[in-house]
Structure formats: C-alpha cells, structure tokens
Amino acid sequence: MSVFENVKENIDYVAKTMKLDEGEVELLKSPKRIVQVNFPVKMDNGRIRRFNGYRVQYNDARGPTKGGIRYHPKVDLGEVKSLAFWMALKCAVVGIPYGGAKGGIEVDPKGLSDRELESLSRAYVKSIHEIIGPTKDVPAPDVYTNPQIMAWMLDEYEKIRGEHSPGVITGKPIELGGSQGRGSATAQGGAFVLDEAARIQNLKPNKTSVVVQGFGNAGSYMAKIVSKMGYKITAVSDSKGGVLDEKGLDVGKVEKHKEKTGSVKDFVGAKNISNKELLELECDVLVPAALENQITKDNANKVEAEVIVELANGPTTPDADKILDKKGVMVVPDILANAGGVTVSYFEWVQNLYGYYWPAKEVHDKLEKIMRKAFGEVYSKSDEYKTNLRTGAWILAIEKIINAERARGNI
C-alpha cells in the first residue's frame, strides 16, 4: 500500500469518528497545489543531467504552508503529498499558524560532489521560487538536506528577488538567521512528549529502557537527550544495522564510533543486531526515527515496547496500528512526537520577520511549553472520543483545519 493510500484510509477512519460530511472529507483528501518540476544541472564531468522535483502545498487555511525538502532516490509524489498532509496536521496539533507543505528531489545526494549539490539546490529553487515566500510557503530541511543546503537555497531566492528575505526558509545556519536550538529541535520535542507519555504510564526514567531506530540527526539527538534525562538507551541502529547492550549504551561513544566507521555496527561491548530485530526487542519505549512504514501488520505483533514515540514520519501502518491498539501499546503519533522541528522553525520564522533573536534557553523553554501542552490536549481529545492518541491528535488537528476553512467560507 502506498503511503498516501494509508493517509486516505486514516482520513476515512477519523471522518467516521468525527461524523464529517462528504465535502469536508473531500477537502482533507485533496492537496491545494501540486507542483512537479524537471530541471537541468551541469555535472562535474560536463554533462547535463535532469532531475525530477516536487512541491506540494496541501492546505493553507491556517497560515502560510510549511514543510521540509528531502533529497532521496525514492522520493515520489505520493510520499510528498502524504508528508505535506501530515505537516498540516502537525502545525495544527501544536497550534502554530501554518498550513502544510513538503518538497523533494529524486536524487541520491551521496553520489554528488559539493559543487553538484549546490547547483542542484539552486536549480530547484529557481524552478519553484514563484510559489514560495515568507507569507506563501516556507521550506526547511528534511531527509538528506541540512543548513548548508538551506543557505544555498536562501541565497538563490534572494538573488532572484533582489532583496533580503531570511523568512523564506528555516533551518538555516545561525549566521544567516537560523534559530538557536533548531538542529536538535525535532528530538528535543520528542523527548518532552516521551517524558509526558512515561509519566502517564508510570515509567520512571532510570528504570525505563529506550530503543532508537535511526541514528541520523533526529535519532542521535533523541538518544543523547533522553540519556541525559536519565533514560537507559539499550539499542540504536542506522541503515547498515544496529547494536544492543541491555546494560545501556554510552551514546556519546556510539556517536564517535559512527563518525569514525560510518555505522553504529561493531561498537565495542555491544551485540550487532538487524533493524528487524531492533523493532522486536523487549523494551519500555521504542522510538522509530528512520523512514515510513517500519512497523507493519507483519511485525506489529512482535513489538514488545509499552510506548512507541514516532520521531519519523509515518513509521506505523494503519494495519499495524490496529494490532498495537489491541496489544495495549501507547503510540505517540508522529504529528505530535516530531513536531518540535516545525515548532522551532516557526520560532526561526518569527525571529526573521522581527529581526530579533532569542537565546537558546528561551527557545528551549518555549518549545517545552508548547510540546507538553500539545501532549495534554491530544491526550484529552483521545479520552473525550475514547480512542488512541493518533486518532485524538488527528481529531484535534482536523477540527482546527475544518474550523479555519469554514470561517473562510470554503466549506
């Protein structure tokens, strides 16, 4: 099943719970704007290579659309539509004034030189510059993109516009208007909601084992942050495999090992495991921080965690959700668990618009307040409808989006 089919299935399920009418359901299933581009880039060998790119602006009833840009060889329109929809929900869940968007380029960035990567990034901005802007659509980093790529994109946009416009993009380097705390924001937000979920489940940090799938930016920061909060990290993994130490991993040393060898595998004192094995480990908290569709109907029955905190986008399929529900597993959904990134992106945008910048502690404190409040609202909504946290989060978000559309006279 494609990722967007999963989205539509979830919409249908939540629509029945909320008793939405046909027009409201149709609005939720229909992106406002889909832009598909194909552009040339001159490679280092002198040849011209063409690339496919996408930008989907799903819903802008609550404000300018917002969402990352990912570089990945398997990017497709269905994935980008799904991510854009989730961004609309995510912004609504945490109460920030954005709609949802997402972008992507079909490319393996690991096969490009720095010059080719810069040329690709600038060419993409040239192809979509008319539809982005601080009051239209604000991109940000995602899978295999970073602050340097955002800097190139900002520079290209400003050259085209002939003016400084730092609010057009977030996740930028500090020197170009980036916010303190942005690099770790997704994980930090996830850590706050993990802590709230642990409190609800009566899990004490020093007696709580945490397993993290994915040791990229979000996953590695998550492991470091929750380890400092007192939780025990027993296993982590990356695309090449994972490592397990039931006594607890020294996350800092694992990070240095990966920097040196290119993978967490073969970390001294730990047992090598596969990503499949990692998802099925006995633990208190499982944090999928990699890609979509990792927990499916085929492995959900083997998940032993009491709590799942979805730091990745869409790591659990609808069929798996039903199985986990029956098992009594608390799933903190992606649109809440990983909303720390877009929340601090919102802080960055506000700081850019005002030209007034906040210290790291202020960013951290504002993020904590928003994330813990959002968890409480989602938990209350799930309790009101006697449903799980994912459905509670979707209901909370969709109510806000539908109310905004209704106020505009669109439904």
Q: Which of 132, 28, 134 is nearest to 89 (CA)?
A: 28
Task: Give phi and psi for 157, each to the nearest 5.
Answer: -60, -45
Burial of 70 (0-12, 13-18, 19+ CB in 10 A): buried
Q: What is the 3-state secondary structure (H, E, C) of 63-81?
A: CCEEEEEEEECCCCHHHHH
The answer to whether residue 126 is catalytic is no
349, HSE (Cβ side, Cα atoms, 13 Å): 25
Helix (H) or strand (E) holding 112: none
Say what angle helices 185-200 and 217-228 make with each other, to 10 degrees: 50
85, HSE (Cβ side, Cα atoms, 13 Å): 22
What is the distance between the alpha carbons of residues 68 and 65, in angstroms, rounded to a whole number? 10
Q: Given 66, 90, 102, 381, which residue is catalytic?
A: 102
What is the distance between the alpha carbons of residues 161 and 153, in angstroms, rounded to a whole number? 12
Q: What is the 3-state secondary structure (H, E, C) of 168-231?
A: HCCCCCHHHCCCCCCCCHHHHHHHHHHHHHHHHCCCCHHHCEEEEECCCHHHHHHHHHHHHCCC
What is the distance between the alpha carbons of residues 64 and 169, in angstroms, rounded to a whole number? 12
Active site residues: 102
